[in-house]
Structure 1
Amino acid sequence: MSNAKQTRRVTPGSRETLPDALFVVDDTETIVYANASAQAITGTTPEELRRNSFWRCVPRLVSTPLYQAVQKAKQTREPTEVEYVSPVTNTWLHVSLSPTDEGLALLFQENLEPPHFQDALSRNEQMYRDLLESFSDGVTIVTPDGLVLDINQRPLADAHLRREQVVGTPLTDLPAWSSDPAVQEHLRAAIARAARGETVRFEAKIHPRLDLSLAILMTITAHRDASQQVEYLICAGRDITERKHAEDELRTLVDALPQLVWIARPDGYVTYHNQRLIDYMAMTLEQAEGDGWLASVHPDDRQRVRAAWQTSIQTGVPYEVELRLQDGTSGAYRWFLVRGMPQRNAQGTILHWVGTCTDIDDQKRAEQRIKESEENWRVLAETVPQLVWTTRPDGRVDYCNQRYCDLTQADFEQLRDYRWRQFLHPEDAERALTLRQQSLATGELFENEQRLRDGQTGRYRWFLARALPVRDEAGQIDKWFGTCTDIDDQKRMEEALRESQERVNILMNSSIIGIFLAEEEQIVDVNDTYLRMTGYTREDLQAGNINWMRMTPPKYLARTQQARQELVVQQYGTPYEKEYVCKDGSLLPVVVGVVALRRDPLHTIGFVLDNSARKELEQRKDDFISMASHELRNPLAALKMQIQLVRKRLERQSHHEAATALSRVEGPVKQLERLIGELLDVSKIQAGRLEYLQETVDLDALLHEVADTMQQLSTTHTIVVRGAAPRVLVGDKDRLGQVFTNLLSNAIKYSPGAETVEMDLSASEETVTVRVHDHGLGIPREQRDKIFERFYRVAGPKQKAIPGLGMGLYIVAEIVKHHGGTLTVDSAVGKGSTFTVTLPCKRDA
């Protein structure tokens, strides 16, 4: 080292006579002394410097190497030196750092290095500076306390600030962050977390200046020294403003896409998970309800997640947490970003929470793969969320970061020189290489959108590739620094939007489904099919003459209002049948399904299907059943009478064998008679003409009579009657007998391998309850509600082998309903079924 660079011994008496700038700072890096020469290098008087933070008062001297040297000297208590170029003045500085009783003495000397050494260091500084400026993101280097050490031009240009106005200032005090106290506090907390070694990512809306607002994605990563202590923080802010605008515009379409969605009560009790989330966790809705979903959260995350959730519930602030959820099928954990928003009424009261889980596993794993490096530009290259690469002046790749290797699943030797081209999409190769050659020839910025192959999946992802030249002092290109930013999600979102628009156009042009858009009750747009179905015209639409409530007949108003309420509560309504009053006054049977695009005011999209053909077919079927039943009833009655007369005549003539053979015919005739009776009952129910008597019924006696009769007919099962129902009802005794005869008959019929059927009776002051239980085949859960529909039978090979037309339970349900009662079923496949009838006790006729 030359004499000029020798560390000078500084004594208190010689401080003021030194020709170089001298600062003495205490352990908090507050200036306690500055000599007169400090004014020349800083432009500030010593009096103005004292008792202020060194980093805030001397922005012209601040740099990352200087900060590292100060921290090292404070830790080791040993003298040290550092050389660097001032980013503000572009002059070389040599700084000697010596521990003192007061703290630390910093002696600054300018222009001390010989030219050849300056040139060598200058290249490294230029490489660092060019890499910093090559990133499309805003990059800021700060101390663990948040003071700005270095910053690239992107955020400075946005804020119309110069570097010396920013360096040494707390990042949280810059206009972009201080204009919003909540955002400022969020950044302050993120810096504190990163200072503890945590990688922090968050989104924020900032205001670099009054006329500019930006949405950014901030990533803060800690850089550690050789002793693994956090030395400084790297803050990378990506502009996601356009993405946010696109998200807002696509919100309605995105809501229709499959997401992991959950809903919770105001107290935090989770009441709903959508099927996609249930499938991922491999839980039932009941298992996931309440706090059950926490069982899928990684044990190391549960306490933190629960605490964050409770904080949001208590304060009403939006919920956001990163956690690991276990895939219930594979057992593997994946990282998710979980967000929850409170839904409030007009008074501000929280009605419920709606949340989503976003898979960020790839992103989290990528963050964990970031490696540290002692060289500042290499640290940035391995830290930023981009593919980073450098080339020689002729374009040969001589470095790429680990993220590049991870994407391609290749080592550096497979990527160096021109070998990286094998991962370029064939359709993009010609354009990319042409632009690259133009940049190499002209020295201009290289920028291109291109696809690179993911070596693991074989799928291509879109990247924005950018490269800047690094020049030597003679202006010759010494190296190219490049980055590739993943824009695959953005490109796919654009493609999804285009495809969605095409699908919407195809749907709107449907010749089968009528489609309408409505604001509250007023229809504002329709497709041609809707107009054709209802008889209205485009002129009627423009005149505001199409209103879906005015098109609804009075008997369907209640169901239509119910559907509207469903839209307000859950954003979609169950499809239902109704009739439309067409323009000419005719009625059109339709099936309607509606989805809410917006709730306040209510904006909906509806899908309408002409139901007239099916309604006409059902009417013809009902007419046929009614006619056939009546036409068969009289001949069957005559046949039954003739059989009985012939059998009695044969018995009087002692032709017992013939009489016995004839008596066997009576069984099938009785079954046919019952079938025709049920068909007639179904026909009458459909027409609303099923007749009922009003008489006093001793239900207990009726139930025992039915049980005795069924026992005589059944040779395979024992009917066990338990309890009593000593109550009197007002109703039709025969119809009530028909109910319990049918239930007992079904219980025997559908339990072929059992020996008993139980009928339990119980009564209260207001009601009588009868339970008919069998030990048979059982009914699948998804078919339980359908068994009371007309002509419906449980689908299954064992059930199909048992004769029947599916009318009995339909008739039973209608009779019980007419008597003011209820009919429910509880069943398990392979274990049997229990039908429960509850009837009110005696009422005024």
Structure 2
Amino acid sequence: MATNTYEHNEAFFQALIEHSTNALVLLQPDGCITYASPATEGYTGYTCKELVERNSFTLIHPLDLAMVQSALATVLAIPDRTETIEYRFLCKDGDHGWFRGTFTNMLTRPPVCAILSTLYDISEQKRTEERLRRNKESSQTLLAREQAVLRQEEVARRHLNDLFMQAPAMVCVLRGPEHRLELVNDAFRQLYPRREFVLEKTVRENWPDLEDQDFFEELDRVYQSGRAYAANEKLALIDREDSGIRDEGYFNIVYQPIFDERGSVESIIVYIMEVTEQVLARQRIQESEARLRRLIDANIVGVTFCTLEGRINEANDVFLRMIGYTREDLRAGRIDWARMTPPEYEEIDAQAISDLRARGAIPHPYEKAYRRKDGTLLPVVVTAAALDEANPNECIAFILDNSMQKELDQRKDDFISMTSHELKTPVTSIKGLTQVLLKRFEQRDEPDIKRMLLIMDVQLNKLTKLIGDLLDISKAQGGQLIMEQKPFDLDTLVCETIEHMQTTMATQHIKLVGKANATIMGDRDRIGQVIVNLLSNAIKYSSRNSPIVVKVFREGQQAVTQIQDFGIGIDAGYQDKLFNQFYRVTDPREPYPGLGIGLYLSRQIIERHSGRIWLQSRKGEGSIFAFSLPVV
């Protein structure tokens, strides 16, 4: 009876499988196929015989194999356990079809005694899902692109608006035939700092100060014709402060029409750049050029347009007459200021060129000479300025004939030299006689006569020093100022000079600070003369009880001597001229005696010793005169 029931069930199960529309496969735990239903061929293309005894794991897509094996392991662990998964199966045509497989552990269920796998073809579903996924991704990509484009457009719009508002030029948009204000940037507000511009109001309401100046009429013509309008350096009378007072200004103006989709003018963009400063600067340049041309044509001084290398491109008649060349020589390029300059002026020319390159102009006119066409020397005073500060190689030079002044200076020098020599002998005789008289009256009781003789002796000493200074000037100008070259100790010289000067001073005290510990090669007496000159000036321009400070020290290979007073000081405007011959600061409120000789001689002596002399001073705070000498 049981056997008949089992056979009946097996037959019923066999019939059920054979006639099922689903693909049914029986598997062993190792994946081997023991049976495949007829419907399997319709799903996979394999006949039942082709599948039986084949290992199903070889037909699973490699990417899904681990998942399938994991599901079988879970099913094998528990009888009657069922797992459903989706995986790809290699069909006979070579493609991997998508299936939903259900695995049920029926190993303990006769007559099956296997793992029952039911296959459902879901390839079309998967293809539909894939299309939907791709469509979704494509939609998302398109949406992202559209959003990116919108963001870019927004950024561009904001950037354009920022550029519009921050543009250095004045920009506004006027809409419609009445030119109503639609947009206006900050540059307009800078031109009119007190004005409140009102959007939607007309241009005439926002800019009433431009009425009757044809600006509005040009806007009307642009709106009606559709043609842009442009004007450069247009004069406008504008009320910048809204005070009722209009000032002149110059502007570059563009009216650019904006058209709608029908081709009609919708708005006008107004672009305005103020060029008032440029126009006024050009006018000033033109006026300066006109004045310069009048100066050149007036033939008062020599004027040249030249290069720093020496080539003279243009010159007026005065300069040509000075140097004896013709205009034909100028056109032929035969005039070169560098070749006309004697070698002894090359150094001062080099310094002037350096100043011109650095500052755009020579700060102070300087003296030199040119060699004329006939070979004679012409003393001149020269100054120059760069035509273009960015390119100072080309300049304009002004040349003044200095021959008459030189001749007068020579006559003066000859007179001083002759007078000094003529005075030296009688003054020396008077000095000697005064000394004899002083000795005779030393033993006599006549104090008044002795006092007068002492006064006379002091004045004779001053006169002797003055005559000596004048003779030194003549020698210096003639190149005959003799300087001995012997080593001497600077500290000793300074100390001795201070001691000698201190004996003649009743109230002022000279304080010596520091030591140079330096040996100087030169004329000891002449350097002592410089120290005396500087100390005399410090005493002269200080109050009676004001101290004088002398500092001596080393700076590398230079020995420096400084004489500092706390007197009236010297205004900055006079300091560059103090070492010039016969120059004195003249101030009626502070009259001091002197001829302006001492500092000039001091500079000559120091420079002859390859040294340098200078001053530092402020009005009302005193002065520091200093010189440096090379150390042996």
Shift of 1:514: 0.7
Partners of 1:425 and 1:694 in 2: CA distance: 86
Query: SS at the partner of 2:503?
Result: helix
Structure 2 residue 377 is matched with structure 1 residue 367? no
Shift of 1:549: 2.1
Partners of 1:438 and 1:761 in 2: CA distance: 84
Are the aligned partners of 1:754 and 1:776 in contact in 2 as well (CA < 8 Å)? no
Partners of 1:687 and 1:678 in 2: CA distance: 14
Q: Extract unaligned runs of 5+ from structure 1.
A: 1-11, 17-21, 32-52, 57-66, 72-141, 145-194, 196-220, 224-231, 238-365, 369-382
Equivalent residue for 1:789?
Answer: 580
1:527-606 equivalences under 5 Å are: 527-564=316-353, 575-595=365-385, 603-606=393-396
Query: SS at the partner of 2:397?
Result: strand
Q: Give the alignment partner of residue 602 of structure 2, picking from 790, 796, 812.
A: 812
Shift of 1:635: 4.0
Equivalent residue for 2:253?
Answer: 464
Structure 2 residue 312 is matched with structure 1 residue 523? yes
Structure 2 residue 398 is matched with structure 1 residue 608? yes
User: Partner amino acid for 2:271?
Assistant: T
TM-score normalised by structure 2 residue count = 0.63
User: Partner amino acid for 1:719?
Assistant: I
Shift of 1:760: 4.4
- Residues 33-92 of structure 1, C-alpha deviation per residue, up to 9 Å, x if partnerless? xxxxxxxxxxxxxxxxxxxx5699xxxxxxxxxx65xx6xxxxxxxxxxxxxxxxxxxxx
Check 1:757–1:520 CA distance in 2 against 1; reply closer, same or farther (3 A cut).
closer
1:286-301 equivalences under 5 Å are: none
1:65-76 equivalences under 5 Å are: none
Partners of 2:357 and 2:332 in 1: CA distance: 27
1:209-228 equivalences under 5 Å are: 223=158
Q: Give the alignment partner of residue 417 of structure 2, picking from 623, 626, 645.
A: 626
- Residues 513-565 of structure 1, C-alpha deviation per residue, up to 9 Å, x if partnerless? 41223384433333444333333223212222122222112222333345455
Partners of 1:764 and 1:406 in 2: CA distance: 56
Partners of 1:579 and 1:425 in 2: CA distance: 64
Equivalent residue for 2:6?
Answer: none
Equivalent residue for 2:153?
Answer: 143
Equivalent residue for 1:670?
Answer: 461
- Residues 599-648 of structure 1, C-alpha deviation per residue, up to 9 Å, x if partnerless? 99984123122141443343333333323333443443344445445555
User: Partner amino acid for 2:331?
Assistant: Q
User: Partner amino acid for 1:673?
Assistant: T
Shift of 1:784: 4.7
Partners of 2:425 and 2:502 in 1: CA distance: 30
Check 1:710–1:564 CA distance in 2 against 1; reply closer, same or farther (3 A cut).
closer
Partners of 1:416 and 1:725 in 2: CA distance: 84
Structure 2 residue 274 is matched with structure 1 residue 488? yes
Query: SS at the partner of 1:790?
Result: coil
Are the aligned partners of 2:229 and 2:254 in contact in 1 as well (CA < 8 Å)? yes
1:310-349 equivalences under 5 Å are: none
Partners of 1:818 and 1:488 in 2: CA distance: 60
Equivalent residue for 2:240?
Answer: 455
Count of matched residue pairs: 484
Partners of 1:597 and 1:607 in 2: CA distance: 10
- Residues 360-415 of structure 1, C-alpha deviation per residue, up to 9 Å, x if partnerless? xxxxxx629xxxxxxxxxxxxxx9951322343xxx34335344576452544996
Query: SS at the partner of 1:550?
Result: helix
Partners of 2:287 and 2:555 in 1: CA distance: 63
Partners of 1:500 and 1:786 in 2: CA distance: 32
Equivalent residue for 2:121?
Answer: none
1:168-567 equivalences under 5 Å are: 195=155, 223=158, 367=166, 385-392=170-177, 396-399=178-181, 401-403=183-185, 407-408=191-192, 409-412=195-198, 416=202, 418-419=204-205, 422-424=208-210, 429=213, 431-432=214-215, 435=218, 443-445=225-227, 447=229, 449=231, 451=236, 453-456=238-241, 458-459=246-247, 460-466=249-255, 468=257, 481-489=267-275, 493=278, 496-497=281-282, 500-501=285-286, 503-509=288-294, 510=296, 511=299, 512-518=301-307, 520-564=309-353
1:719-738 equivalences under 5 Å are: 719-721=510-512, 731-738=522-529
Query: SS at the partner of 2:341?
Result: coil
Are the aligned partners of 1:552 and 1:580 in contact in 2 as well (CA < 8 Å)? yes
Are the aligned partners of 1:464 and 1:484 in contact in 2 as well (CA < 8 Å)? yes
Are the aligned partners of 2:387 and 2:396 in contact in 1 as well (CA < 8 Å)? no
Equivalent residue for 1:348?
Answer: none
Are the aligned partners of 1:706 and 1:741 in contact in 2 as well (CA < 8 Å)? yes
Are the aligned partners of 2:182 and 2:199 in contact in 1 as well (CA < 8 Å)? no
Structure 2 residue 483 is matched with structure 1 residue 688? no
Check 1:801–1:28 CA distance in 2 against 1; reply closer, same or farther (3 A cut).
farther
Query: SS at the partner of 1:546?
Result: coil
User: Computing the radius of gyration over CA atoms, which structure comes out larger, 1 or 2?
Assistant: 2
Partners of 2:239 and 2:139 in 1: CA distance: 52
Shift of 1:485: 1.6
Partners of 1:804 and 1:831 in 2: CA distance: 22
Check 1:562–1:831 CA distance in 2 against 1; reply closer, same or farther (3 A cut).
closer
User: Partner amino acid for 1:530?
Assistant: F
Q: Extract unaligned runs of 5+ from structure 2.
A: 1-126
User: Partner amino acid for 2:479?
Assistant: G
Query: SS at the partner of 1:143?
Result: helix
Check 1:444–1:823 CA distance in 2 against 1; reply closer, same or farther (3 A cut).
closer
User: Partner amino acid for 2:343?
Assistant: P
RCO higher in 1 or 2 (8 Å CA, sep ≥ 6)? Answer: 2
User: Partner amino acid for 1:756?
Assistant: P
Are the aligned partners of 2:469 and 2:598 in contact in 1 as well (CA < 8 Å)? yes
Check 1:649–1:789 CA distance in 2 against 1; reply closer, same or farther (3 A cut).
same
Query: SS at the partner of 2:339?
Result: coil
Check 1:414–1:662 CA distance in 2 against 1; reply closer, same or farther (3 A cut).
farther
Check 1:367–1:793 CA distance in 2 against 1; reply closer, same or farther (3 A cut).
same
User: Partner amino acid for 2:338?
Assistant: M
Query: SS at the partner of 2:269?
Result: strand
Partners of 1:437 and 1:728 in 2: CA distance: 90
Are the aligned partners of 2:222 and 2:229 in contact in 1 as well (CA < 8 Å)? no
Equivalent residue for 2:82?
Answer: none
Are the aligned partners of 1:594 and 1:604 in contact in 2 as well (CA < 8 Å)? no
Partners of 1:29 and 1:783 in 2: CA distance: 82
TM-score normalised by structure 1 residue count = 0.49
The more displaced of 706-715 and 462-471 is 462-471
Query: SS at the partner of 1:464?
Result: strand
